[in-house]
Amino acid sequence: MGAAVDLQKVCKVYNKIPVVNDLSFTIEPGEIFGLLGPNGAGKSTTIRMLTTLTRPSSGEISVAGYDAVRQSLQVKNHIGVVLQQTSVDIDLSVWENMEFHGRLHHISNPQRQHRINQWLDYVGLTEKRDALVKTLSGGMKRRLQIARALLHQPDILFLDEPTVGLDPQTRRRLWEIILDLNKQGMTILLTTHYMEEVEYLCDRIGIMDGGKLISLGTLQQLRQQHGEGLVVKQKEESWEYKFFPNLEAANLYLEQQPDKTGLMVRPSNLEDIFVELTGHQLD
């Protein structure tokens, strides 16, 4: 089987401004891939192109082996999508929302009933099946979006900032659902600006800033590339970071400093790497 997702030199231009710029990367089947970046980095635009909601200005995108522009219908049949603004109809019940999506995908009646029951049970919404969506909490709505996205049995699930605005406990619950789906074989691409989300969930991480992919790899690879040891220097209100290949090298540097005031050695983490690469913090 080929790549689950493949982007080659993809650009998206709005009003002559490239908001996604020369983006190339591949996601293998069975991976959880995280796109990390600050607001405006181009993550949502990338997900919108991958899910055929908007066309690239240039470049090639293949999803589940199909061309995202020329074979968008086939792509849609193989993907589940949970976007930030994904519309669940708040005036319909949980069941009706699922039913509507199942009909859109031409899932036969007995199969539809079976799968709706199965996925509502999976995300813990069986008891809410007749509740109007407007009465659900944010976390429940997100779980409904996920159940709905899974109804037509996609191979790849796209999640745009799946846990934004959710409390820590609800976030954890969604993380467990995402990990479990992946264990069942689902390929997952998610965007986020939460460091701990990528650290906990993702096999590989792509860091985006200003429409560009500025780093790509496993957390371990990113740490190795940028330096696993860190010397932090506190300077009044600010902090200065100096990367070293490993902790030993960082410690050696520290020992050699005549004045060690405000200096500290620790292992680098994703946030340090992000700040080093982009020059700014995530929220």
Is 37 an interacting residue with respect to ligand ATP (CB under 6 A)? yes
Name the residue among 32, 62, 50 with its Cα closest to residue 218: 32
- Closest to ligand ATP by CB, 213 or 265: 213
- CB under 6 A: which stretch of 35-43, 91-99, 135-143, 244-252 binds ligand ATP? 35-43
- CB under 6 A: which stretch of 43-51, 214-222, 243-251, 254-262 binds ligand ATP? 43-51
CA dihedral 104, 187, 142, 68 (to 10 degrees): -50
Are the beta carbons of 97 and 89 closer than 8 angstroms? Answer: yes
One of 23, 41, 146, 202 touching ligand ATP (CB under 6 A): 41
Closest approach of ligand ATP to the CB of residue 43, in Å? 4
Cα separation values, 78 from 45, 113, 150, 163, Å: 20, 20, 10, 23
Closest approach of ligand ATP to the CB of residue 207, in Å? 11
Integer Cα distance of 226 and 236 in angstroms: 26
One of 1, 39, 91, 106 touching ligand ATP (CB under 6 A): 39
Closest approach of ligand ATP to the CB of residue 233, in Å? 31
Give the residue carrying structure tokens 């040891």. Answer: 229
For 126, which DSSP code?
G
How many residues are given for the chain?
283
Is 146 an interacting residue with respect to ligand ATP (CB under 6 A)? no
Is 40 an interacting residue with respect to ligand ATP (CB under 6 A)? yes
Cα separation values, 246 from 94, 242, 270, Å: 52, 11, 15
Is 148 an interacting residue with respect to ligand ATP (CB under 6 A)? no
Integer Cα distance of 94 and 279 in angstroms: 44
Dig out the tokens for 60 from the structure: 């090639």
One of 6, 27, 31, 42 touching ligand ATP (CB under 6 A): 42
The 10 Å CB-count burial string (b at 16+, else e) for 218-243 is ebeebbeebbbbbbbeeeeeeeeebb
One of 33, 34, 36, 44 touching ligand ATP (CB under 6 A): 44
Q: Which positions from 160 to 199 touch ligand ATP by CB under 6 A, shown as an x/- string?
A: ---------------------------------x------
Are the beta carbons of 146 and 177 closer than 8 angstroms? Answer: yes
Are the beta carbons of 89 and 142 closer than 8 angstroms? Answer: no
Closest approach of ligand ATP to the CB of residue 17, in Å? 7
- CB under 6 A: which stretch of 42-50, 121-129, 144-152, 233-241 binds ligand ATP? 42-50
Interacting residues toward ligand ATP by CB under 6 A:
14-15, 19, 37, 39-45, 193
